[in-house]
């Protein structure tokens, strides 16, 4: 798989930075809140057919969660070409063209990508992410 940007390590680095900066040294750890990172990629790096993957911190054998404070979403836009998504009020998301960088910043780190021909696609994608986050806790 293609992964020129060390996304796994980069994701954990940015996640840990968000988590760490919630409280000051000596503060109560109980004040730490869940942090969610969302990576919208214009390349595929995971060895499956899913366009939206969600990761948590769990024990390997029993899958017992250690803590729910870490959640990582990876959305691979090229995989949407094989899996059109029905969206209320529209026929489907359409990612048949190469996504182009937008001026929108996600969590202040990296630009998100918007389909160049359908402004509603990005809004629908954000709705899909928001729905997934709402159902995940």
User: Which own/partner contact pairs does 61-68 have at CB distance under 8 Å and 24+ positions apart?
Assistant: 68/34, 68/137
Query: What percent of the chain lies above the pLDDT cut of 70?
Result: 58
Q: At residue 21, does pLDDT exceed 90?
A: yes
* 3-state class percentages of the chain: helix first, strand second, coil last, to nearest 5: 30, 30, 45
pTM: 0.64
């Amino acid at each position: 798989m293609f992964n020129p940007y060390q996304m796994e390590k980069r994701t954990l680095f940015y996640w840990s930075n968000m988590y760490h900066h919630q409280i000051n040294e000596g503060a109560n750890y109980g004040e730490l809140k869940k942090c969610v990172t969302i990576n919208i990629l214009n390349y595929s790096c995971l060895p499956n057919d899913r366009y939206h993957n969600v990761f948590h911190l769990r024990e390997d054998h029993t899958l017992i969660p250690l803590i729910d404070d870490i959640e990582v979403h990876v959305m691979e836009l090229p995989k949407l070409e094989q899996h059109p998504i029905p969206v209320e009020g529209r026929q489907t998301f359409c990612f048949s063209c190469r996504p182009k960088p937008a001026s929108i910043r996600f969590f202040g780190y990296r630009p998100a990508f918007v389909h160049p021909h359908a402004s509603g696609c990005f809004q629908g994608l954000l709705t899909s992410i928001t729905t997934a986050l709402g159902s995940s806790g």
